[in-house]
Amino acid sequence: MALLPILCYPDPKLHTVAAPVAAVDARIRTLVSDMLETMYEAKGIGLAATQVNVHERLIVIDVSEQRDAPLVLINPELLWTSEQTHLNEEGCLSVPGIYDGVMRHDAVKVQALDGNGQRRLIETDGLLAVCIQHEMDHLLGKVFVEYLSPLKRNRIKTKMLKAQREARS
Ligand code: K1U
Ligand code: ZN
């Protein structure tokens, strides 16, 4: 197991569109286990492969209180989203320290392969539905700050670049 470095906004690599995973093989199983370790260590509830600079359609999630219910979604496809939406306060491990509201569907239905390559159908709502939408956006190269106004987004970009400069010096 290994901790993977997480890309930080506004790194342009975060805007890469991920390609499908060709086969759930030993390389993917190692990546899944490294991503889970990285997500737990960073105290996140989700992580997309894009955020660790791997541009394949793979996400890991754990929204459980005990942090003992990992969910692995490989090649996830959104089959259905509810008409009903709500404003959700979100954060992102690639935009540390920034939280803001994003409109999300209340419920989603997703088809994916799990970590064993088995097909899974998930219909869910609440935090899991929000997290799935957030992570699937990453696979499309979209970071949650892109839902915010250009003014807010530019302020966040400036703040992140300053923090990264200071961390280097
Ligand atoms: O993709 C990521 O960067 C992980 C992100 C997922 C996420 C958080 C909140 C709403 C939707 C998706 C995080 O885990 S950020 C960590 C965090 O702020 C958080 C942790 C637990 C509950 C809520 C937020
Ligand atoms: Zn994120």
The per-residue pLDDT for range 78-104, each reduced to its tens digit, is 999 999 999 999 999 999 999 999 999
Residue type, 99: Y
User: pTM for the complete prediction?
Assistant: 0.97
Choice among 37, 77, 135, 166 that is catalytic: 135
Percentage above 70 pLDDT, the chain: 100
Ligand 1 within 6 A of CB of 105: no
Nearest ligand 1 atom to alpha carbon 89? 10
Ligand 1 within 6 A of CB of 115: no
Ligand 1 within 6 A of CB of 131: yes
CB 17 within 8 A of CB 140: yes
pLDDT tens for 109-143 read 999 999 999 999 999 999 999 999 999 999 999 99
Ligand 1 within 6 A of CB of 141: no
Q: What is the reported pLDDT for 1?
A: 83
Per DSSP, 50 falls in state G
Q: What is the reported pLDDT for 43?
A: 98
Distance CA(149)–CA(129), nearest Å, equals 24
Label residue 85 left, alpha or beta by phi (over 0 means left) and psi (-120 to 50 means alpha). Answer: beta
N residues, the chain: 169
Nearest ligand 1 atom to alpha carbon 47? 1
Residue type, 118: Q
135: annotated active-site residue: yes
For residue 144, report the distance from its CA to the centre of ligand 1, in Å.
Answer: 11
pLDDT tens for 14-34 read 999 999 999 999 999 999 999
Distance CA(142)–CA(162), nearest Å, equals 22
Distance CA(139)–CA(120), nearest Å, equals 18
For residue 39, report the distance from its CA to the centre of ligand 1, in Å.
Answer: 10
To which H or E segment does residue 104 belong?
strand 100-105
CB 108 within 8 A of CB 124: yes
